[in-house]
């Protein structure tokens, strides 16, 4: 039996595995978290309000907020040293 012959059986086996703990997490991932409303809040306040305040309001970590802001092309004004 060649490896090519066993692949379809392995694919079928993998598709039939259901893990209840992981099923509960479907829809709670990164892309599902960022609704249009949350993106709008981030866009409006990212350069005006502390990240910690925005993250608390949206319900995520500062790191998650900063990652999303970067992916959206948002940036905070750079502080200059005088």
The tally of domains found in the chain comes to 1
Instruction: Please report whether residue 15 resides in a domain.
Output: no
Instruction: Please report whether residue 9 resides in a domain.
Output: no
C-alpha angle 59-38-26 in degrees, rounded to nearest 5: 70
Instruction: Please report whether residue 79 resides in a domain.
Output: no
Q: Which domain holds residue 32?
A: 21-72
Look at residue 5 in the predicted model and tell me its pLDDT. 55
The 10s digit of each residue's pLDDT in 31-56 is 678 889 999 999 999 999 999 999 99
Look at residue 78 in the predicted model and tell me its pLDDT. 72
Location of structure tokens 């099923």: 23
Instruction: Please report whether residue 59 resides in a domain.
Output: yes
Least confident interval from 30-34, 63-67, 70-74: 30-34
Q: Which two tokens stand for residue 40?
A: 């709008």
Look at residue 10 in the predicted model and tell me its pLDDT. 56
Q: What is the pTM of this model?
A: 0.59
Instruction: Please report whether residue 58 resides in a domain.
Output: yes
Instruction: Please report whether residue 39 resides in a domain.
Output: yes
């Amino acid at each position: 039996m060649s490896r090519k012959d066993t692949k379809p059986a392995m694919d079928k086996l993998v598709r039939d595995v259901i893990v209840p703990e992981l099923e509960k997490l479907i829809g709670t991932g990164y892309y599902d978290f960022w609704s249009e409303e949350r993106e709008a809040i981030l866009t409006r306040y990212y350069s005006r309000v502390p990240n910690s305040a925005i993250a608390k309001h949206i319900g995520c970590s500062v790191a998650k907020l900063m990652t999303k802001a970067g992916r959206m092309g948002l940036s905070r004004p750079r502080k200059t040293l005088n």
